[in-house]
């Protein structure tokens, strides 16, 4: 494990660990997807690009990536076909959520997917007259008492109190979309109430849950690859980025401070931390030397690499997979966004809670949903033998903080072939429908509305060649 930025030392993972070694060969990036211009249920996502300077996201699923499918099958107990279906459903749910978030305005109260293959999208609103709009977009409407802004205000009050003095015995608090509530997890009710009092938050504004968890940072140019700080501790690369003409990667802030030097998985000189924040946030970026070329890939650890196509935020309930230099590939689901967690070094806010396992040395590594970058491993509790909880810091705020651009499959890679044939963007396809595309015939295996990048050649979760 790495020595964190606070005065509390953590045991270092031995640098000779076999898990930290890089698998032999990275395959070439997959065919680039077209620009993501989404239209969902009549709601056109014009002007809804993420404020972070990330590359445009593509909804194309990563159903052809064997590492992702195998890890999802293992950890989510799905067949390969179910994993592909889930990825397609989650991609469409993310697009629908983005459109409805704008359409509903202040009445939007969150969204989540549910079901074994994420076949149901539930969108909450505080206005009953908006339920029809949600239903027309293909989602299930839920009318609740508190909008997302109200929940966020309570959450931020707790964050401010924790920033003044780290709460003892209160490791986690978060906005729970499913409960329309703010949940505080504490070792005792007394510890929780002490935090509420300092924050000026009434007891009726939150739900207190008992926990024995004691999260800690998991510290010990392809996402998930190992790197070493000042020749000692080990962490994992999050995602490849650029700023101007400078290449590098994002990772966890607790792995190093500005000026910390890094070496790669093979111990060759690699780069230097340019910016880092921890605690409060947990993000950093490293500028690398010319010997390291940023690639839009996440390490599959012997199962093939996953190509990064963008950074569209996945809804609560979506599947998510993690790559790290200690434990490799593991998958689970997103449990809550807008979460705060207290480590021995202080509180980190804005992380995402998951049921994916992780261990020391995985810190900074990639969290990806389908082919969309989600964030960098921060910390957690438990391990990959007994299971556990892991938090990741979202990638888009990190990109915005440092003025970075995510390296994706569209950056200098092969371009999508011309769409010749009967397949067409905007067409609603049902299971069994047949189309032609670039001289080949395909049969629809998952009902959907065709979007840019979802062509039959690049979306095996939606189309089967005949």
pLDDT at 460 over 90: no
- Residues whose CB falls within 8 Å of the CB of residue 245, separated by 6 or more in sequence, listed in order: none
Confidence of residue 426 (pLDDT cuts 50, 70, 90): low
pLDDT tens track for 398-423: 999 999 999 998 753 333 334 457 88
Q: Which of 254, 283, 330, 448 is catalytic?
A: 254
Angstrom CA distances, 280 to 149, 156, 166, 369, 393, stand at 21, 12, 10, 25, 11
Reading the block at residue 303, the tokens are 């199962």
**Spatial separation of the C-alpha atoms in residues 235 and 263, rounded to whole Å:** 11
- Give the closest residue to 295 by CA, choosing from 395, 371, 222: 222
In the residue annotation, 168 being an active-site residue is answered as no
pLDDT tens track for 162-217: 998 889 999 999 999 999 999 999 999 999 999 999 999 999 999 999 999 989 87
**Spatial separation of the C-alpha atoms in residues 237 and 265, rounded to whole Å:** 10
Burial code (b: 16+ CB inside 10 Å, e: under 16) for 283-316 equals bbbbbbeeebebbbbbbbbebbbbbbbbbbbbbb
Q: Are 96 and 124 in contact (CB under 8 A)?
A: no
pLDDT tens track for 267-312: 889 999 999 999 999 999 999 998 899 999 999 886 678 899 999 9
- Give the closest residue to 351 by CA, choosing from 214, 230, 173, 213: 173
Question: Average pLDDT in the 432-451 region?
Answer: 82
Q: How many CB atoms lie within 10 A of CB 157?
A: 18
In the residue annotation, 7 being an active-site residue is answered as no
Q: Which of 363, 366, 369, 409 is catalytic?
A: 363
Q: Which of 147, 176, 282, 305 is catalytic?
A: 282
In the residue annotation, 73 being an active-site residue is answered as no
Q: DSSP secondary structure string, 243-304?
A: ETTEEEEEE-GGG--TT-EEE-TTS-EEEEEEEEE-SBS-EEEEEE-TT----SEE--SSS-
Q: Which sign does the torsion angle of CA 92, 93, 98, 104 carry?
A: positive
């Amino acid at each position: 494990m790495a020595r964190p930025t606070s005065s509390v030392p953590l045991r270092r993972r031995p640098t000779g660990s076999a898990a930290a070694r890089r698998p032999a060969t990275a395959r070439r990036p997959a065919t680039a997807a077209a620009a993501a211009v989404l239209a969902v249920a009549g709601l056109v996502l014009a002007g809804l690009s993420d404020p972070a300077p990330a590359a445009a996201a593509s909804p194309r699923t990563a159903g052809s990536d064997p590492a992702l499918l195998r890890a999802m099958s293992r950890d989510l107990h799905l067949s390969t076909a179910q994993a592909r279906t889930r990825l397609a459903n989650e991609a469409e749910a993310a697009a629908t959520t983005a459109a409805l978030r704008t359409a509903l305005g202040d009445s939007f109260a969150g969204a989540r997917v549910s079901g074994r293959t994420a076949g149901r999208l539930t969108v909450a609103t505080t206005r009953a007259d908006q339920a029809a709009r949600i239903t027309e977009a293909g989602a299930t409407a839920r009318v609740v008492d508190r909008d997302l802004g109200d929940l966020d205000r309570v959450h931020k009050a707790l964050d401010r109190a924790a920033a003044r003095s780290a709460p003892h015995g209160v490791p986690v608090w978060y906005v729970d979309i499913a409960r329309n509530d703010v949940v505080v997890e504490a070792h005792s009710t007394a510890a929780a109430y002490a935090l509420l009092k300092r924050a000026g938050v009434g007891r009726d504004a939150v739900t207190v849950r008992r926990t024995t968890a004691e999260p800690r940072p998991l510290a010990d140019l392809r996402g998930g690859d190992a790197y070493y700080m000042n020749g000692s501790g080990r962490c994992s690369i999050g995602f490849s980025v650029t700023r101007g003409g400078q290449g590098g990667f994002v990772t966890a802030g607790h792995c190093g401070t500005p000026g910390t030097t890094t070496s790669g998985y093979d111990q060759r000189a690699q780069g230097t931390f340019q910016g880092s924040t921890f605690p409060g946030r947990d993000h950093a970026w490293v500028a690398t030397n010319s010997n390291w070329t940023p690639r839009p890939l996440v390490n599959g650890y012997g199962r093939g690499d996953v190509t990064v196509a963008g950074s569209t935020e996945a809804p609560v309930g979506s599947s998510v997979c993690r790559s790290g230099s200690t434990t490799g590939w593991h998958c689970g689901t997103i449990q809550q966004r807008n979460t705060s967690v207290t480590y021995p070094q202080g509180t980190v806010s804005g992380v995402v809670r998951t049921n994916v396992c992780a261990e020391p040395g995985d810190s900074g590594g990639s969290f990806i949903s389908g082919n969309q970058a989600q964030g960098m491993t921060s910390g957690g509790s438990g391990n990959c033998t007994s299971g556990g909880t892991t938090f990741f810091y979202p990638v888009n705020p990190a990109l915005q903080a440092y003025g970075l651009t995510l390296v994706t499959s569209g950056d200098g890679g092969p371009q999508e072939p011309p769409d010749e044939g009967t397949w067409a963007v905007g067409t609603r396809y049902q299971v069994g429908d047949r189309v032609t595309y670039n001289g080949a015939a395909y049969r629809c295996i998952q009902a959907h509305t065709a979007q840019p990048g979802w062509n039959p050649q690049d979306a095996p979760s939606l189309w089967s060649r005949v």
